[in-house]
Structure 1
Amino acid sequence: MKLSVFGCGYLGAVHAAAMASLGHDVIGVDPDAAKIAKLSAGQTPFFEPGLPEILSDAIASGRLRFTTDPAAAADADVHFIGVGTPQRKDSAGADMTYVNQAIADLLPHLKPGSLVVGKSTVPVGTATRLAELVNPTGARLAWNPEFLREGFAVKDTIEPDRLVYGVADETNDEDTAILDEVYATALSTGTPRIVTGYATAELVKVAANSFLATKISFINAMAEIAEVTGADVTQLADAIGHDARIGRRFLNAGVGFGGGCLPKDIRAFTARAEELGKGESVAFLKQVDEINLRRRQRIVDLVVDSFEGRPFGRRVAVLGLAFKPDSDDIRDSPALDVAVRLKGLGAEVISHDPEAMDNARRMHPQLTYADTAEQALTGAEAVVVVTEWREYRDLDPAATAALVDRPVVFDGRNVLDPTAWRTAGWTYTGMGR
């Protein structure tokens, strides 16, 4: 099929490349000329495993092109909207500027019978509003939320765990048939498909993220109790995780969640619920957010306490800057936040991350960045592991002890073996352990 993708950031670039890899002819549209030039050259503007390969192959095949000109999308039969909806600067709500602009850019080039498909995470009610703009052109609107995990985005696009189609009329199969053709490969392997109205499709993504955020903050709340009772939150998570109704995934206590989705999505959901007069229905999400932010401060407090309240001038190695491994995304990153807070207290912070340092430098040039983990560790008086990259998880505690001046480690993700580190002479502190 002929597809267009408006927005070539994280969501849009992955979607465009993945759709082209499945055999569709795709045009990616974005107003950022530098980004378009980079993508057209087969270079990714962010780190995502597997994306460079499918991007280069799709461009070489001729099935994928990028442009700043919305008119180039005129021949497409299906138009995906994959722009960002960041948190507004003046409130917790979602900033709809980019979605509104994408629709405005697309409207003059729509043809009767074409389908506009929203993938961006938006406040419930958005699709109905946008359909009133799209329908007069003879085109139609559907909403098809994304469920990408950074680090696994290519796989999640090509082999999704479910497909959700939000359509204007669930009894009319026309739009469903078009989307089935787009996702024919995934459907042929048995991927579940759920057809809903607009509102349900919009709620699916924010409801899923709210549930996951709640699960993470729940186990972090248990970590707070564990810390004052002598319990081990990791063992607790293992024990309750065997209950099939609960499950073990997302029950990892630590410094909490971050990134470009969970934090801003639960805040935007809360704001939208309040607009709808149902703020009490999701009031618990404010506590979820508060617990999450508290865990960042907790590990900072632990480091400060280890210096008897006097961190000024003490050398601290912060391992990790991205909000999660296999990503260079520093949006609302707990790891970067911890580094900045320690720096603000006067510590000499030396940070390292395998992929996120360039992004971190642009946002926080006041930090000191090490080219290697070993360089960050050398002479450190405290080590803080805040992103669970494999290279940090695999650190040899004995060899690492030989690099530092003071063998004190804070495991902000509970990924190190406490026994092994303590045996090697370290003072080990986990989160809720």
Structure 2
Amino acid sequence: MRISVVGCGYLGAVHAASMAELGHDVVGVDVDEPKIAALAQARAPFYEPGFEDLLARTLATGRLRFTTDVADAAGAQVHFVCVGTPQKRGEYAADLRFVEAATESLLQVLAPGDLVVGKSTVPVGTAARLAEVVTEKVPGAVLVWNPEFLREGFAVQDTLHPDRLVYGLPGGADGETAKRTLDEVYADIVARGTPKVVTDYATAEMVKTAANSFLATKISFINAMAELCEATGADVLQLADAIGFDDRIGRKFLNAGLGFGGGCLPKDIRAFMARAGELGADQALTFLREVDNINMRRRIRMVELAREVCDGSLLGKRIAVLGAAFKPDSDDIRDSPALNVAAQLQLQGAVVCVTDPAAVDNSRRQWPQLDYADTPEEAAARADAVLVLTEWRQYRELDPVAFGQVVRQKRVLDGRNALDREAWTAAGWTYRALGRRAG
């Protein structure tokens, strides 16, 4: 099929290349000229394992191209809208300007029978409103909502091998036609027996925000337990293991530590709360406010813990921060807990040096006041404390004996409960972690 993808950021670029991998003829459209130029030369404008190889492979087939001119999307049968929905400045609500602009831009190339497929995460009610615009301006064109469920670091896998497909469709014959078209787009995925939920607009819009809200709640729950563990002397890692054996609970997302960040969970739960308030159902989601508060308290507690291990004062202390991205296998620093902690440490007088395998360049642009290093050893040279704030494999596998030779004081704060405490303490390190006894 001929497909266009409007918005070639993280979601759109991966989706465009993945659709070409599935055999479709794809054009990616974005107004950002440097980004389009990079993608056209098979250079990924962000770090995502496996994506650059996929990009080069699909460009070489001739089935994938990129443009800044939406007119090049004319003739496509299916148009995916993959633009961002950031949090509004000074508000909890989602900023829908980019979704609205992308949809508006497609009106000039849509033809009757074309499908507009929203993949962006939007507040409930957005699809119905945009559908009216599309059908009014281009009778016979149909809008559907097909939310994405990408995990950064696994985006290619999650696009080509998703754990489910969700179709939010209009009623009647248009909905049936749209379902058949989506089944054709995802033919290989559907043929593998991938679970599929065919539903209405509102349910499809809520699936992503409900899923992210649940995951955020689970993370904040175990971090609330970490607060109690610190007060009682219990061990949150053993607690998580014990309750995780209950298959009603499960062990995933019960990793206590610095909490969540990134471009999805924080802004999605806030937008969910804002939309519930607009609908007069705000009491249903008041618990998410505490989920958010618990998450932010973890950052404050990490700074307090650093002060504790540095003999009560951060002034003039050299602190190495291992990790800048909000999660490993990504260069995404949006709402990064690691960088937030690093900045707070510096404000309290510490000399902070940050390192990360992928996110140093992004961090330097956004946080130029911090110092940066290319390696953990360089960042930790003569350090009074080392903070592991993003659980990159490279940091989990550090040799505590060799690493101890570069620091001034063997004090490590494990912000992700990612290190082997016994190995580090055996090597002479003072080990501290959120929700665990001192080692």
1:238-279, CA deviations, whole angstroms, 9 ceiling, x for partnerless residues?
Answer: 000000100000000000000000000000000000000010
Aligned twin of 2:99: 99
Worse-superposed segment, 168-177 or 138-147: 168-177
Q: Does 1:113 align with 2:113?
A: yes
Q: Does 1:289 align with 2:266?
A: no
Which of 209, 212, 226 is matched with 2:212 structurally?
A: 209
Distance 1:281 1:113 in 2: 39
1:170 and 1:197 in contact (8 A); partners too: no
Q: Which amino acid aligns with 1:43?
A: R
Q: Does 1:330 align with 2:333?
A: yes
2:118 and 2:146 in contact (8 A); partners too: yes
Distance 1:310 1:326 in 2: 33
Q: Which amino acid aligns with 1:130?
A: L
Q: What SS does the corresponding residue of 2:220 show, helix, strand or coil? A: helix
Q: Which amino acid aligns with 2:350?
A: A
Aligned twin of 1:18: 18
Structure 1 segments (4+ residues) deviating >6 Å: none
Q: What SS does the corresponding residue of 2:260 show, helix, strand or coil? A: coil
Which residues of 2 match residues 157-306 of structure 1 at below 5 A?
157-169=159-171, 172-306=175-309
Total equivalences in the alignment: 433
Distance 2:313 2:90 in 1: 36
Aligned twin of 2:154: 152
Q: What SS does the corresponding residue of 1:113 show, helix, strand or coil? A: coil
- RMSD across aligned positions (CA): 0.8
Q: Which amino acid aligns with 1:129?
A: R
Which residues of 2 match residues 264-413 of structure 1 at below 5 A?
264-413=267-416
Q: Which amino acid aligns with 1:98?
A: F
- The sequence identity of aligned pairs, in percent, is 63
Worse-superposed segment, 152-161 or 54-63: 54-63
1:315 and 1:379 in contact (8 A); partners too: yes
Q: Which amino acid aligns with 1:45?
A: P
Change (3 A) 1:313 1:416: same
2:321 and 2:379 in contact (8 A); partners too: yes
Q: Which amino acid aligns with 2:265?
A: L
2:411 and 2:431 in contact (8 A); partners too: yes
1:179-198, CA deviations, whole angstroms, 9 ceiling, x for partnerless residues?
Answer: 00111111111100110000
1:170 and 1:195 in contact (8 A); partners too: no
Structure 2 stretches of 5 or more lacking a match?
none
Length-normalised TM-score, structure 2:
0.98
Cα displacement (A) at 1:170: 6.5
Q: What SS does the corresponding residue of 2:108 show, helix, strand or coil? A: helix
Distance 1:358 1:387 in 2: 16
Aligned twin of 1:124: 124
1:355-380, CA deviations, whole angstroms, 9 ceiling, x for partnerless residues?
Answer: 00000000000100011111011111
Distance 1:310 1:192 in 2: 54
1:147-200, CA deviations, whole angstroms, 9 ceiling, x for partnerless residues?
Answer: 000000000000000000000117742111100011111111110011000000
Distance 2:177 2:249 in 1: 38
Q: What SS does the corresponding residue of 2:197 show, helix, strand or coil? A: strand
Distance 2:303 2:313 in 1: 12
Cα displacement (A) at 1:85: 0.1
1:145 and 1:201 in contact (8 A); partners too: yes
Distance 2:75 2:301 in 1: 54
Distance 1:275 1:129 in 2: 15
Cα displacement (A) at 1:420: 1.1
Cα displacement (A) at 1:322: 0.2
Q: What SS does the corresponding residue of 1:28 show, helix, strand or coil? A: strand
Q: Which amino acid aligns with 1:226?
A: C
1:170 and 1:196 in contact (8 A); partners too: no
Distance 1:391 1:319 in 2: 10
Distance 2:418 2:54 in 1: 32
Cα displacement (A) at 1:308: 3.0
Aligned twin of 1:424: 427
Length-normalised TM-score, structure 1:
0.99
Distance 2:354 2:362 in 1: 13
2:310 and 2:385 in contact (8 A); partners too: no
